[in-house]
Amino acid sequence: MRREDERKTTRRDFLKKAGLAAGTITAISLVGNVRSGETGPLKVGLVGCGGRGTGAALDCMQAAPNVKVTAVADLFRERAEAAKKRLNEQGAEIKDDHVFHGFDAYKQLMETDVDIVILATPPGFRPDHFEAAVNARKHVFMEKPIAVDPVGCRRVMAAGEKAKELGLAVVAGTQRRHQKSYIETINRIKDGAIGDIAAARAYWCQGGLWVVERRPEWSDMEWQIRNWLYFTWLSGDHIVEQHIHNLDVINWVMGTHPVRAMGMGGRQVRTAPKYGNIYDHFTVDYEYPNGVHMLSMCRQIDGCANIVAEFVVGTKGSSNCSGNIWGQNPWQYRGPNPNPYVEEHKDLIESIRKGEPINETQAVAESTMTAIMGRESAYTGKVVTWDEMMRSDLSLAPKEYKFGPLPVAPVAMPGRPM
């Protein structure tokens, strides 16, 4: 609690502090017997005003009393304005001078007096934004994945350590970690309900997602960012952008990350230029330190078999990690399953108000790196190890962020050095 107060004191300027004094008395009398800080007002800034970012901002406001979005930032002005309008209609208090746009909009937002920032831009920008948030002493909710390459992953890991030292809370959008049915099941698995884990499977196979057709007035950079799912430097490819959820569940169950991966994949159906340079399917054999293997499959092809799930098999039974245990200790979760997209913000805010900040950076960074390791194995056709990833200088970020020409990187060809 104390650490929390000090933090705020150091970053707020004197004038504001003085101005707050009168208001503080009212606040205390209003909250009655609730100890100060527990429901004190929290201001939220949203970076990345798409459907998910706007949804996350709403989820955050719904998660606890006295939480208001007061600032928004997006690369595109119309996106930021639309989010401001929508969120203000839902009870946010975003003033015109707290609506930022452009590549540096996030920096301006970090300079406002928000307590929490929501980072929901395409993942390629996440390392920059997360570092800036930690440097500005903000609590963070960040969408998954948190990077698209090993360099970005390690930057986020380092910033996560710094956040820990500073007493900042960090929650990631791997919402299964906040979903009752998963939490209850995985706790039981960890308590031995299925014995020693022998094998795991993770799937995200579905049809294709939305595509943004290019308009003649858009530069390469603008089109790629608007159509970001299909460019590895922005999304990390769908194994990183989407399948990370399932990989994260198995990492959670295993309590660690895999040490190596051998994967394959390709681009069989989504071959048109509008699909950028990502693959449409991957299969990866991951190996954990104790020799346990995880089969991972992900696909985004219309009209094929769909499955989004995780399974673990143990010496005494098996589980879907999300409510069912079969075998020697059969069990089914029958309790409530509150909306995990709200729960994750509830947990974040509670931890801030209690002064016991949770920090999920390392877990989500490891799961992101797990996905990147699988992708790189499929892209190169080689076995890729965790140690190689932790040493890799692979960075996909463009030389500079500005609207203009940006050739699409070639589609990865396994077995052929790029």
Partner 1 sequence: MRRLCLFVILILSGCGISWISRGKPHKAGPFGSYSQEISGTLVKFEMVRIPGGTCEVSDPSSPGGKRKMKFKGFWIGKTEVRWDEYDVFMYGLDLISKIKEGEETGEEDAISRPSRPYGNPDRGFGHEGYPAIGITFYAAEQFCNWLSRKTGRKYRLPTEAEWEYACRAGVLPPGPVDKKLLDRIAWFEENSEGKTHRVGEKEPNPWGLHDMLGNAAEWCVGMDGRPVLRGGSYKDPASDVHPAARQYQTPEWNASDPQFPKSKWWLSDAPFAGFRVLCEE
Binding letters toward partner 1, positions 107-146, x by CB under 8 A: ----------------------------------------
Asked if residue 85 binds partner 1 (CB under 8 A), the reply is: no
Q: What minimum distance in Å lies between the beta carbon of 384 and partner 1?
A: 27
Residue for token digits 């076995």?
383
Asked if residue 303 binds partner 1 (CB under 8 A), the reply is: yes
Asked if residue 341 binds partner 1 (CB under 8 A), the reply is: yes
Asked if residue 213 binds partner 1 (CB under 8 A), the reply is: yes
Closer CB to partner 1, residue 56 or residue 352?
A: 56
Question: Within positions 222 to 261, which residues make up the interface with partner 1, using CB under 8 A?
Answer: 242
The window from 8-16, 130-138, 183-191, 207-215 that contacts partner 1 (CB under 8 A) reads 207-215
Q: Which amino acid is at 375?
A: R
Asked if residue 6 binds partner 1 (CB under 8 A), the reply is: no
Long-range contacts of 402-408 (CB under 8 A, 24+ apart): 402/103, 402/221, 403/219, 403/221, 403/222, 404/219, 404/220, 404/221, 405/219, 405/220, 405/221, 406/219, 406/220, 406/221, 406/224, 407/220, 408/220, 408/224, 408/231, 408/273, 408/276, 408/277
Asked if residue 380 binds partner 1 (CB under 8 A), the reply is: no
Binding letters toward partner 1, positions 164-193, x by CB under 8 A: -----------x------------------
Closer CB to partner 1, residue 54 or residue 319?
A: 54
The window from 155-163, 194-202, 206-214, 367-375 that contacts partner 1 (CB under 8 A) reads 206-214
Q: In Å, how far are 51, 153, 154, 206, 288 from 157, measured between CA atoms?
A: 27, 6, 5, 30, 20
Q: Which amino acid is at 365?
A: A
Asked if residue 308 binds partner 1 (CB under 8 A), the reply is: yes
Asked if residue 296 binds partner 1 (CB under 8 A), the reply is: no
Binding letters toward partner 1, positions 38-67, x by CB under 8 A: -------------xx-xxxxxx--------
Q: What minimum distance in Å lies between the beta carbon of 50 and partner 1?
A: 8
Closer CB to partner 1, residue 99 or residue 163?
A: 99
Asked if residue 272 binds partner 1 (CB under 8 A), the reply is: yes
Of these, 31, 309, 358, 409, which contacts partner 1 (CB under 8 A)? 309
Asked if residue 334 binds partner 1 (CB under 8 A), the reply is: no
Beta strands across the sheet bearing 293-300: 331-332, 324-327, 317-319, 307-314, 197-206, 293-300, 281-287, 260-266, 383-385
Long-range contacts of 112-115 (CB under 8 A, 24+ apart): 112/43, 112/45, 112/70, 112/71, 113/12, 113/16, 113/43, 113/70, 114/43, 114/44, 114/45, 114/70, 114/71, 114/138, 115/8, 115/42, 115/43, 115/44, 115/139, 115/352
Asked if residue 417 binds partner 1 (CB under 8 A), the reply is: no
Measure the CA–CA gap between 56 and 2, rounded to whole angstroms: 29
Closer CB to partner 1, residue 228 or residue 288?
A: 228
Q: What minimum distance in Å lies between the beta carbon of 198 and partner 1?
A: 23
Residues 354 and 230: beta-carbon distance below 8 Å = no
Q: In Å, how far are 46, 129, 146, 364 from 159, measured between CA atoms?
A: 19, 10, 12, 13
Asked if residue 398 binds partner 1 (CB under 8 A), the reply is: no
**How many CB atoms lie under 10 A from the CB of residue 209?**
12
Q: What minimum distance in Å lies between the beta carbon of 179 and partner 1?
A: 9
Closer CB to partner 1, residue 192 or residue 207?
A: 207
Going by DSSP bridges, is the β-strand pair 260-266/383-385 parallel, antiparallel, or unpaired?
A: antiparallel
Q: Which amino acid is at 247?
A: L
Q: What minimum distance in Å lies between the beta carbon of 125 and partner 1?
A: 19
Residues engaged in binding partner 1 (CB under 8 A) = 51-52, 54-59, 86, 175, 205-210, 213, 242, 271-272, 274, 302-303, 305-309, 339-341
